[in-house]
């Protein structure tokens, strides 16, 4: 199995530009998570989906952030417009089932730098 | 306010010795705890977990201890190996929290040869 796939691995953009991060979960997994890692706040859950439906988006910082999951094998996290404080590593994770304790499998992350 | 705390940003240990990583939590409703390990340029990977009905769980060189009254858990690695050098994240969950894991800020472990 290829594991969780994220693209791009690195993204450098200028303030005000739109950024789209992509994720392909592990085949057969029906829950998908977007996390952000910063030095100050560690790993924060932004949003998660179960069966392509957003369940909890309380971690999304503000309206500039949006996430979609049009099908079971693809999700996007979009930032529009981007700001320097959005610079972080963004991880996607997936798991099978909807249990509270299921191990989450993480992708390699996208390192975003907003200048 | 952080619900899961790892107060040591870094830890250095000699190869062969014991590594002890600590984690504290504030929410007494948490009932499941996990440790993840992260190497540079990779995503976190699951290491070991413990339910609140237990106070110890062991898997090879890794043991997690849970002290519910103190709201404290620790990860012991014995013996430590250079390949254990990584960032370790503590995470907590609760049955009525959906699938929301709350992660600590991480502790960077360096195992010196």
3-state SS class at A53: strand
Query: Do B86 and B62 meet the contact criterion of CB atoms below 8 Å apart?
Result: no
Contact yes or no for A108/A89 (Cβ under 8 A): no
* Residues of chain B found within 8 Å of residue A101, distances taken between Cβ atoms: 32, 49, 51, 93
Tokens of A103: 């191990």
Beta strands B10-14 and B62-67, pairing class: unpaired
Tell me: pLDDT of B88 over 90.
yes
Q: Cβ–Cβ contacts within 10 Å for residue A1, how many? A: 7
The full length of chain B comes to 113
Task: Give me the mean pLDDT over the A2-24 stretch.
Answer: 96
Mean pLDDT of chain B: 94
Average pLDDT, chain A: 93
The total number of residues written for chain A in this structure: 115
Mean pLDDT of B4-32: 95
Q: Looking at beta carbons, which residues of chain B come within 8 Å of A104?
A: 46, 99, 101
Q: Which two tokens stand for residue B11?
A: 């830890």
Is B44 within 8 Å of A31 when comparing Cβ atoms? no
Give the separation between CA A69 and CA A46, rounded to whole angstroms: 14
The partner residue sitting opposite B98, judged by closest CB among A43, A55, A103, is A55
In the structure, what pLDDT confidence band is assigned to residue B1 with cuts at 50, 70 and 90? low
**Token digits of residue B23:** 């984690």
Q: How far is A114 from chain B (nearest CA, A)?
A: 19
Other Cβ atoms closer than 10 A to B61: 14
Q: Tell me: pLDDT of A40 over 90.
A: no
The number of angstroms, rounded, from the C-alpha of A110 to the middle of its chain's C-alpha atoms is 9
Radius of gyration of the CA atoms of chain A, in A: 13
- Predicted confidence (pLDDT) at residue B105 exceeds the cutoff of 70: yes
Per-residue pLDDT for B86 more than 70? yes
């Amino acid at each position: 199995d290829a594991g969780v796939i994220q693209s791009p691995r690195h993204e450098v953009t200028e303030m005000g530009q739109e950024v789209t991060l992509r994720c392909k979960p592990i085949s057969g997994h029906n829950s998908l998570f977007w996390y952000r890692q910063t030095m100050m706040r560690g790993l924060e859950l932004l949003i998660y989906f179960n069966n392509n439906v957003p369940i909890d988006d309380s971690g999304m910082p503000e309206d500039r952030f949006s996430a979609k999951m049009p099908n079971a094998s693809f999700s996007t996290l979009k930032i529009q417009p981007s700001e320097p404080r959005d610079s972080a590593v963004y991880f996607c994770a997936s798991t099978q089932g909807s249990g509270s304790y299921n191990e989450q499998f993480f992708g390699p992350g996208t390192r975003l730098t907003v200048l | 306010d952080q619900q899961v705390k790892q107060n040591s940003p870094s830890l250095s240990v000699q190869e062969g010795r014991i590594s002890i990583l600590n984690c504290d939590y504030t929410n007494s409703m948490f009932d499941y705890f996990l440790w993840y390990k992260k190497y540079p340029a990779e995503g976190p990977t699951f290491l070991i977990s413990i339910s609140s009905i237990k106070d110890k769980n062991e898997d090879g060189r890794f043991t997690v201890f849970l002290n519910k009254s103190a709201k404290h858990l620790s990860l012991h690695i014995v013996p430590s190996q250079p390949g254990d050098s990584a960032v370790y994240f503590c995470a907590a969950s609760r049955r009525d929290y959906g699938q929301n894991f709350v992660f600590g800020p991480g502790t960077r472990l360096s195992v010196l040869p």
